[in-house]
């Protein structure tokens, strides 16, 4: 009986270690999750927007104002003489 | 308007001026030459530039040209005005995260290696830099190196636009979307400037109406690269020595001077909505700004809406905190 208990203890210990290592190996070799873009980024070309006055507006706790503009609009044609100026960061 | 396009400062540059072509050509040529000389003086990507010479001289007094001394003086001034959020001495951090060569080269040559061993360490503060107005000398403390990228680009664009103004009543120098506007084109009361969608560059978010002066945008979506498996961008937060993590993805500033617009676009982008109003208010500089967040909400104050969007409709906003020109 004593031998049986000792064998059982060793068996549980070895099985636990092997299970842990097996799980580690599986996780290490599993594919990494693909980072998806937020839903708002996936907007497609939409019709021209109404004038800006039509947007809803809001104020946050910091006293900053914001208004939603989830729909991008297509670039208008350039003016006849003034070059199209676009600020975009670099 | 007559236009000239060139490639300088690692970006596309547009010169435009109103007037007769033959009268404008000398102005275009002079402005083009000024831009190219400015680039060769201020670039950190050439060992022969005056800026690289200054960086190599850290620990010793360096006799600077009037142009370099002017821009370094401006940089120090705005370091204090932005409470250190604009800091040109983050060059070691930029290199550590992989931006150790021009963006053109970085894109050509692929991902930069990840130097895990080069952890951000203590480096001297810009306030330790000593400038001597009398003999135009600069003393960088040991271990300091400057990157004057944005502020120098704005300064060059403004100087070049002023050169064009000697031959034209309305001119603009647009350096990769950061621009300085002089006068007004015939028949227009303001300059039309489009704000590009930072997440979908083929689209515009909104059209702005801008008075003569400067427009600059900083964004974390343009100069991006991979370092090993890490996503990197070029806006370094001086407090963390790492690419900034902000609720905003781009900030556009309209200001009287191009270097002001460049500096505050970057500082407010790093600051984010929690600190931006305080930075803007305490700077004492008059400017308007619009910020875009991940959801494409556009943030700003009422003056920004009125001055830049051409509307004076009462949205019911709170009292204003930001002084606007």
Tokens of B321: 């905190």
Cβ neighbors of B110 (< 8 A, separation 6 or more) are: none
Average predicted confidence (pLDDT) for chain B:
86
Chain B nearest C-alpha distance from A19 (Å):
29
> pLDDT: is A19 or A72 the higher one?
A19
Tell me the residue length of chain B. Answer: 325
Interface of B with A in 84-103 (CB under 8 A): none
Kindly report the backbone phi and psi dihedral angles of residue A66, in degrees, each rounded to the nearest multiple of 5, phi listed first: -145, 160
Tokens of B4: 């000239």
Chain A touched by B207 (CB under 8 Å): yes
Residue in A with minimal Cα distance to B149? A90
Please report the ipTM that was assigned to this predicted complex.
Answer: 0.80
Tokens of B307: 């001055």
Question: Comparing C-alpha atoms, which of B141, B142, B151, B143 is closest to residue B68?
Answer: B151
Residues of A in contact with B319 (CB under 8 A): 63
If you average pLDDT over each of B96-100, B114-118, B136-140, which comes out highest? B136-140
Residue in A with minimal Cα distance to B251? A89
Task: State the Cα–Cα distance between residues B65 and A38, nearest whole angstrom.
Answer: 48
pLDDT at A15: 94
pLDDT at B277: 85
Task: State the Cα–Cα distance between residues B226 and B244, nearest whole angstrom.
Answer: 15
pLDDT of B12 > 50? The answer is yes
Tokens of B277: 């109003």
Residues of A in contact with B250 (CB under 8 A): 89
Percent of chain B with pLDDT over 90: 54
Question: Measured between alpha carbons, how far is residue B65 from residues B39, B75, B141, B275, B281 in Å?
Answer: 14, 15, 19, 36, 33
* Residue A66 DSSP symbol: E
Chain A nearest C-alpha distance from B115 (Å):
22
Contact B296 A68 (CB under 8 A): yes
Q: Where are the domains of chain B?
A: 2-309
Map residue B189 onto helix, strand or coil: coil
pLDDT of A32 > 80? The answer is no
Contact A89 B250 (CB under 8 A): yes
pLDDT of B207 > 60? The answer is yes
Residues of A in contact with B266 (CB under 8 A): none
Residue in B with minimal Cα distance to A85? B193
Contact B203 A59 (CB under 8 A): no
pLDDT at B118: 59
Contact B301 A89 (CB under 8 A): no
pLDDT of A25 > 70? The answer is yes
Contact B203 A45 (CB under 8 A): yes
> pLDDT: is B9 or A38 the higher one?
B9
Task: Identify any residues that bridge with A59 across adjacent strands, giving them in sequence order.
Answer: A65
Task: Identify any residues that bridge with B293 across adjacent strands, giving them in sequence order.
Answer: B248
CATH architecture entry for B2-309: Roll (3.10)
Chain A touched by B191 (CB under 8 Å): yes
> pLDDT: is A22 or B318 the higher one?
A22
Best residue in B299, B308, B312, B321 to probe A by mutation, most A CBs within 10 Å?
B299
Chain A touched by B183 (CB under 8 Å): no
Residue in A with minimal Cα distance to B177? A87
């Amino acid at each position: 009986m004593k031998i049986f208990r000792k064998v059982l203890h060793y068996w549980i210990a070895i099985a636990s270690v092997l299970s842990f290592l097996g799980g580690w190996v599986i996780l290490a070799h599993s594919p990494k999750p693909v980072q998806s873009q937020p839903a708002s980024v996936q907007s497609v070309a939409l019709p021209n927007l109404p004038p800006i006055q039509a947007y809803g507006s809001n104020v946050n706790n910091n006293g900053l104002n914001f208004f939603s503009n989830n729909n991008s609009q297509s670039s208008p044609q350039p003016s006849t003489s003034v070059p199209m100026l676009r600020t975009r960061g670099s | 308007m007559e236009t000239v396009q060139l490639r300088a400062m690692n970006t596309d540059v547009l010169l435009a001026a109103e007037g007769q072509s033959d009268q404008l050509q000398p102005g275009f040529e002079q402005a083009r030459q000024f831009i190219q000389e400015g680039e060769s003086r201020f670039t950190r990507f050439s060992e022969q530039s005056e800026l690289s010479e200054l960086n190599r001289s850290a620990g010793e007094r360096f006799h600077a040209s009037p142009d370099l001394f002017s821009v370094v003086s401006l940089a120090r001034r705005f370091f204090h005005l932005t409470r250190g959020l604009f800091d040109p001495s983050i060059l070691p951090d930029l290199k550590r995260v992989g931006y150790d060569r021009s963006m053109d080269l970085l894109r050509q040559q692929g991902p930069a290696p990840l130097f895990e061993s080069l952890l951000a360490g203590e480096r001297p503060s810009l306030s330790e830099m000593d400038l001597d107005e009398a003999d135009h000398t600069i003393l960088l403390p040991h271990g300091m190196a400057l990157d004057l990228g944005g502020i120098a680009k704005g300064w060059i664009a403004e100087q070049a636009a002023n050169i064009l103004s000697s031959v034209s009543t309305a001119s603009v120098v647009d350096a990769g979307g950061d621009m300085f506007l002089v006068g007004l084109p015939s028949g227009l009361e303001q300059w039309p400037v489009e704000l590009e969608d930072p997440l979908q560059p083929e689209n515009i978010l909104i059209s702005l109406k801008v008075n003569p002066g400067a427009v600059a945008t900083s964004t974390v979506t343009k100069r991006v690269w991979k370092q090993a498996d890490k996503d990197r961008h070029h806006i370094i937060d001086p407090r963390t020595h790492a690419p900034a993590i902000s609720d905003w993805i781009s900030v556009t500033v309209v200001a009287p001077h191009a270097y002001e617009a460049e500096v505050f676009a970057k500082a407010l982008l790093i600051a984010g909505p929690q600190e931006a109003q305080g930075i803007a208010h305490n700077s004492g500089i008059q400017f308007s700004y619009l910020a875009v967040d991940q959801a494409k909400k556009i943030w700003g104050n009422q003056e920004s809406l009125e001055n830049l969007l051409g509307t004076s409709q009462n949205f019911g906003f709170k009292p204003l905190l930001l002084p606007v020109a």
